[in-house]
Amino acid sequence: MSDLENFTPKLTADGSFTFVSQEFGESFHSHYGARQESFFKFVKPTQLAIAAQKPILRLLDICYGLGYNTAAALQTIWAVNPSCCVEVIGLELNPSVPQAAIAHHLFDNWNCNYIGILKELAFEHQVQTPYLKGKLLIGDARTTISLVSQSGFWADAIFLDPFSPTQCPQLWTVEFLKQLALCLHPDGLLATYSCSAAVRTALLSAGLVIGSTPPVGRRSPGTVATHFRSAELKDHSALTTLSQAEKEHLLTRAAIPYRDPQLSDQTEVIEMRRQQEQQTSSLEPTSHWRKRWLLGTQGRDFIGTNGFKAPSF
């Protein structure tokens, strides 16, 4: 069986398809809608429809996957400004994933005019047109991100889209997110689907300020981040203030971040390091926070104030 045959399209609620990763045991996208997730969790929070008025836009797509986030970005940008020059760098561990998306014709119902571009990027790992310069870096993102940083690439938008922190903690660590912060333009925005307290703490530790993004399909919000000075000077409209429940969540043991000092540790080592730090922490147990805000129910997701839905731990 070829690598491409390892991926079977799975229908999601908005009519678009995704894959399930055999390695991580998770779907690449929410079952609520793969396509809508790209637009509403990544493109909209990074305000690309506004940024598209610039002559040049740079995007950094962490865990390129099927290519949906990049496709949604290009569609949004060029609908506003067809002459905007876009530079895209995607980081992806498994090149078979974007290739399988093309092979299974998953963009056919997207009304997307850029399938040829996406195909070239998937199979050749680079593409260049008068208005696009794209590159797909294959390998562990902890290694390839250093190539991006060293090149001086400053992204106007970063899409942070790995598998969940519990399955792929190595791409949610303080150290990795600090590398992303170095690649984020002073006025740029980073968006992720995760509202994990550990992820938000790591973003703060990377010197960024954070806000919530609206829920999409489910009641859990995402997170958007930018540099402190940018938020301070521009009163960034992208940064929706955290609810009181979310703020208090960051003061519990759930907020202890993942750490990977040399950007090379195995998943088990990263998880054990965090667990040990949690066990010796003087922070409030997360169960106390759950009881205070979520009526004492445990073991599931709950709705808090402002529609905030706490992730399970």
pLDDT attached to residue 231: 55
Exposed, middle or buried, 20 (CB in 10 Å: 0-12/13-18/19+)? middle
Over the chain (313 residues), the average pLDDT of each successive run of 10 is 70 84 74 88 96 97 96 96 97 96 90 86 97 97 96 97 94 98 96 96 97 83 86 58 92 97 97 97 94 58 39 41
Q: Which CATH class is domain 3-243?
A: alpha beta
The DSSP secondary-structure symbol of 187 reads E
pLDDT attached to residue 183: 98
pLDDT attached to residue 246: 93
For 105-132, the pLDDT digits (tens) are 999 878 777 899 999 999 999 999 999 9
Rounded to whole angstroms, the maximal C-alpha distance in the chain is 58
pLDDT attached to residue 199: 98
Q: At CA 181, angle to CA 156 and CA 99, rounded to 5?
A: 65
pLDDT attached to residue 3: 64
Closest CA to 132 of 88, 92, 98: 88
pLDDT attached to residue 234: 52
Handedness of CA 99, 153, 165, 37 (dihedral sign): negative
Torsion of CA 140, 158, 229, 80, to 10 degrees: 160
Contact of 122 with 102, CB cutoff 8 Å = yes
pLDDT attached to residue 27: 75
pLDDT attached to residue 301: 41
pLDDT attached to residue 300: 37
SS3 content of the chain, % helix, strand, coil (to 5): 40, 20, 40
| Dist. CA 270–CA 173, nearest whole Å | 9
pLDDT attached to residue 233: 47
| Dist. CA 61–CA 136, nearest whole Å | 9
